[in-house]
């Protein structure tokens, strides 16, 4: 497992000193068969997933706030969805979204095997449109869509959070590219704008955790 962790695609790199990152992953307990298989597939196919260190943070956040409804934007094969679904419990609900029907079909099979299919609603389509259509407020909204869309996510998601809810976003340090003075990529510029919006919003209290590729956690006040 240690060797697999060292080379896994979802490790990303570029944020934490390599030896420290190796130590963090070496401390993680083994995952169950379904999550371990998903990690191996993601590494093999280069599917973007959050990986087990961030997965544990997502699970922990949901448990701390006793979340019961989570909206996930950009779910891929459903790896992070399972972490959320296990955290919300039998009476909780997680909405999975992805633009690829093949991803969704594969995710459904993983949800069945993981025993959490009855807690997850699978929606295929544009995550921002699907969130805009929601009438309810959410305990947690997780953002992991195309990076150019991050500023738009901010403008939609904050209004859909309950007071005391969390907006959580992956890849907010973007392999360290956010530290560039004049980044040329549209994706990096969008992440920089998203991070600025998070920290300057009067109704949010935000922290960026420098783990894996950077995880933003914003509490709605």
**Banded pLDDT at 13 (limits 50, 70, 90):** low
Residue spans of the domains in the chain: they are: 50-220
Q: Give the CA count within 13 Å in the CB-facing half-sphere of 210.
A: 9
**Banded pLDDT at 104 (limits 50, 70, 90):** very high
pLDDT at residue 6 above 50?
A: no
Token pair listed for 121: 């609603």
pLDDT at residue 2 above 70?
A: no
The domain over range 50-220 is classified in CATH as 3.40.640.10: no
Least confident range from 12-21, 134-143, 151-160, 169-178: namely 12-21
Q: Per-residue pLDDT tens for 19-35? A: 898 999 999 999 999 99
Instruction: Supply the pLDDT for residue 18.
Output: 85
* Sign of torsion over alpha carbons 103, 47, 60, 1: positive
What would the mean pLDDT of 117-145 be, rounded to a whole number?
98
The candidate with the shortest Cα–Cα distance to 80, out of 24, 140, 124, is: 140
Residues linked to residue 73 through DSSP beta bridges, in sequence order: 143
Q: Per-residue pLDDT tens for 39-97? A: 999 999 999 999 999 999 999 999 999 999 999 999 999 999 999 999 999 999 999 99
pLDDT at residue 4 above 60?
A: no
Reading phi first (left if > 0) and then psi (alpha if -120 to 50, else beta), residue 162 is in beta
Estimate the share of the chain in helix, then strand, then coil, as percent rounded to the nearest 5.
Answer: 50, 20, 30
With beta carbons less than 8 A apart as the criterion, state whether 84 and 62 touch: yes
Rounded Cα distance between 112 and 58, Å, is 20
- pTM for the whole thing? 0.94
Instruction: Supply the pLDDT for residue 1.
Output: 40
| pLDDT > 90: percent of the chain | 89
Instruction: Supply the pLDDT for residue 16.
Output: 84
Reading phi first (left if > 0) and then psi (alpha if -120 to 50, else beta), residue 176 is in left
The candidate with the shortest Cα–Cα distance to 105, out of 120, 124, 118, is: 124
Average pLDDT of the chain? 94
């Amino acid at each position: 497992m240690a060797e697999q962790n060292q080379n896994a695609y979802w490790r990303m790199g570029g944020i934490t000193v390599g030896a420290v990152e190796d130590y963090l992953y070496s401390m993680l307990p083994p995952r169950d068969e379904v999550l371990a298989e998903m990690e191996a597939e993601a590494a093999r196919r280069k599917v973007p997933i959050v990986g087990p260190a961030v997965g544990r943070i997502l699970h922990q956040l949901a448990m701390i706030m006793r979340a019961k409804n989570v909206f996930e934007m950009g779910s891929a094969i459903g790896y992070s969805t399972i972490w959320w679904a296990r955290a919300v419990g039998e009476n909780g609900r997680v909405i999975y979204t992805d633009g690829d029907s093949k991803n969704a079909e594969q995710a459904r099979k993983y949800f069945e095997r993981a025993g959490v299919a009855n807690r997850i609603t699978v929606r295929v389509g544009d995550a921002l449109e699907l969130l805009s259509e929601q009438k309810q407020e959410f305990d947690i909204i997780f953002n992991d869509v195309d990076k150019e869309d991050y500023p738009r996510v901010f403008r939609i998601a904050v209004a859909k959070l309950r007071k005391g809810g969390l907006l959580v976003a992956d890849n907010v340090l973007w392999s360290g590219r956010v530290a560039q003075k004049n980044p040329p990529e549209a994706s990096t510029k969008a992440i920089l704008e998203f991070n600025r919006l998070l920290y300057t919003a009067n109704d949010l209290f935000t922290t960026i955790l420098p783990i894996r590729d950077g995880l933003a956690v914003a509490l709605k006040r």
